Amino acid sequence: MPAATADHERATLTDPEKDAVREQLRRLLANPFFSHSKRFPTFLSFVTEQTLAGEADNIKERTLGIEIFGRDADYDTASDPIVRVTAAEIRKRVAQYYQEPAHANELRIALPSGSYIPTFHWPKDTNDPVLRGLDQAAAEVPTPAEEHPIATPTHPRRQFLLVAAFACAAAGLLSVGSVFLWQEMHRSALDFFWRPVLTTSDPVLICVADQTDYPGMSLRDAADPTRQVFQKRWSKDNLTTVVIDDLSAIANVAGMLQSSHKHYSLKGEGVTNLADLRNGPTIFIGAFDNTWTLRLTKPLRFHFTNDEDMTQFGIVDSTAPAKPRWVVNRAEQIATNNYRDYAIVARFTDTNTGKLTVIVAGIARGGTITAGEFLTDANDLAQLQRAAQAAGDKKNMEVVLSTQIIDGQPGSPKMEAAYFW
């Protein structure tokens, strides 16, 4: 059965079906899981159109590297995993899209694991006018039963149908139960990590890395937005800036708190003091540009480190401190924008304040983005939950994550190490 048709037994799709796939692709790519990226929509659009055009056999890793990412024809796919990393992230985002109840009954575009050829799955019940038209057209085709009515079933036949109906009903109940079980598992994964923060009566503070040393800002003309005027910063200004990549982690964490109806405040690390940290749980975003993160993680088993020249940044395991296990070379990072980044995510009670502390911090910016995604994604937290259960369900935890950065964009997180106490 051709991969492109999945649930269909035909070798090709009809024109209305292709239109339905393209319409669903537009819906998918308009969603925030894809709309904030350039390479993910480009990748998924390319493989979908190639498949609809009957060119699925040409969808190979090397072809995608050349056509989408501009790699040379003889580039080494073994040392350059950009296609594999991008495909893995797309699979994750597609799964997140269809996990939302509003999209549960839509036509499904999937990218099977181990393949770059998308599959298309039509829902049985739909309100989509295009798909409903397809279903109606199919219903108008006479079936063998309509052309040749069969005799009334005998008693054994009725008994068989009764048993079959009962089996279908039982299967339906199991299916519904599976849905609720799946939802409960996802709720429990988020609840596992965030419950101590969400259930406290104390206010939550998000302490973010800030930058105070900037000369000024460019302001746009309201009448002509293309015209910009640079204004120097006044000495009495106390404005600070936030690194743009940190906003992803900030938005993920703040969105999770907001959806749980938990009030929070946002404060730059430069104006955060010990009294602030004693008021309630604090979530620290960023590492080497956040003094508080470096201070609070220093006594932990896994903590940040760097060389004297500030060219090698890493995470060290204090049980083997001689050499950092997870390192980012700053020169390589700047020169290529392709490297492996690392992050620490942690939840523990700080001995100085007696309050909960959550760390969301990468060595470089891609690591911080990945840390924010990890702590707000039920599938990722389920991995941490299983590791915590195996370690005896201790209250404090610290994890080292890694992610492949391709053209400045992080891929999926991988748990490198974990410690519970």
The string of DSSP letters for 141-187 reads SPPHHHHSPPPPP-HHHHHHHHHHHHHHHHHHHHHHHHHHHHHHHHH
pLDDT classification of 154: cutoffs 50, 70, 90 = very low
| Confidence at residue 142, expressed as pLDDT on a 0 to 100 scale | 40
Encoding tokens for residue 417? 């190490």
C-alpha 175/C-alpha 191 separation (Å) is 24
pTM equals 0.59
According to DSSP, the β-strands at 108-110 and 119-121 are antiparallel
- pLDDT of 155 higher than 50: no
Cα distances (angstroms) measured from residue 301 to each of 60, 320, 370: 43, 10, 21
Q: What is the pLDDT of residues 52-65, one digit of tens each?
A: 999 998 899 999 99
Interacting residues of 347 by C-beta distance below 8 A, sequence separation 6+:
193, 196, 197, 356, 357, 358, 359, 396, 397
Q: Which of the residue ranges 103-117, 184-198, 204-218, 387-401 would you say has the lowest mean pLDDT?
A: 204-218
Interacting residues of 346 by C-beta distance below 8 A, sequence separation 6+:
297, 300, 357, 358, 359, 396, 397, 398, 399
Q: Where are the domains positioned within the chain?
A: 15-140, 195-420
Query: Are the C-beta atoms of residues 77 and 98 closer than 8 Å to each other?
Result: no
Cβ burial, residue 45 (10 Å; 0-12/13-18/19+): middle
- pLDDT of 135 higher than 90: no
Percent of the chain surpassing pLDDT 70: 76
Pick from 356, 369, 366, 417: which is nearest to 391 by CA? 417
C-alpha 379/C-alpha 88 separation (Å) is 14
